[in-house]
Amino acid sequence: MSGLFGPPGTGDTSGFGGLRTTVALPVAAERPYGGWFDEVVDDLIAGLTARGVDPTAALEQVVVDRGELTLVIARRHLLAAAATLRDEPTLRFELCLGVNGVHYPQRTGRELHAVYPLRSITHNRLLRMETTAPDDDPRVPSLVAVYPTNDWHERETYDFFGIVFAGHPSLTRIEMPDDWAGHPQRKDYPLGGIPVEYKGATVPPPDERRSYR
């Protein structure tokens, strides 16, 4: 990490400082995953197979990181995977806690991620389901038909990240004005801001301030 906000000795006067950090994504795990994770993966594979879905095509990756389980699902099979996780008696992830967007500009073809925390009330378990989409085709199936409470969460993620949730009943902005240009939480969105007058001086927006380097 470098830059930070106004670090001494850098000559930076922007208040932004070019904050940079390296993101190291966890790698795929290998069996045994540990605890109940193996059971869940096996039951998901069995459930997908029973639905006529090829589990090797649907389940792209199993990640175990910091004691948490993440199932990376191919977007074309997201609905089938969600329904399986919800309906199978040995799984019963009845509750989806929403959807979070993530933008990784350097991950060509997989720049946009949609992340769904799922809770099994029946079995008292928590896991993460994740899918990806490229910038040039940011479409992901809506899960509102499986988890109706995702309605406004998908709208917010669309608003801030530009992920288009195909099949959503009313995919409109929920935070930003309807005519707002762009999606503010993407990494490529400009920092922006407005000029501020202070004691007779005008302070420009952060991304327009000078940096002495």
Helix, coil or strand: residue 181: coil
Q: What is the pLDDT of residues 34-73, one digit of tens each?
A: 999 999 999 999 999 999 999 999 999 999 999 999 999 9
Q: What is residue 201's predicted lDDT score, i.e. its pLDDT?
A: 81
In angstroms, the CA 209 to CA 84 distance is 52
Q: What is the pLDDT of residues 66-93, one digit of tens each?
A: 999 999 999 999 999 999 999 999 999 9
Q: What is residue 94's predicted lDDT score, i.e. its pLDDT?
A: 97
Nearest partner of 143 among 113, 119, 169, 112, judged by Cα: 169
Do the beta carbons of residue 38 and residue 30 sit within 8 Å? no
How many other β-carbons are positioned within 10 Å of the β-carbon of residue 184?
A: 15
Alpha carbon of residue 184 to chain centroid: 14
Q: What is the pLDDT of residues 92-113, one digit of tens each?
A: 999 999 999 999 999 999 999 9
Q: What is the pLDDT of residues 146-189, one digit of tens each?
A: 999 999 999 999 999 999 999 999 999 999 999 988 999 998 88
More confident residue, 16 or 20: 20
Alpha carbon of residue 42 to chain centroid: 25
Alpha carbon of residue 157 to chain centroid: 8
User: Domains plus CATH for the chain?
Assistant: 37-181 (3.30.460.80)
Backbone angles phi, psi at 150, to 5 degrees: -80, -5
Do the beta carbons of residue 117 and residue 131 sit within 8 Å? no
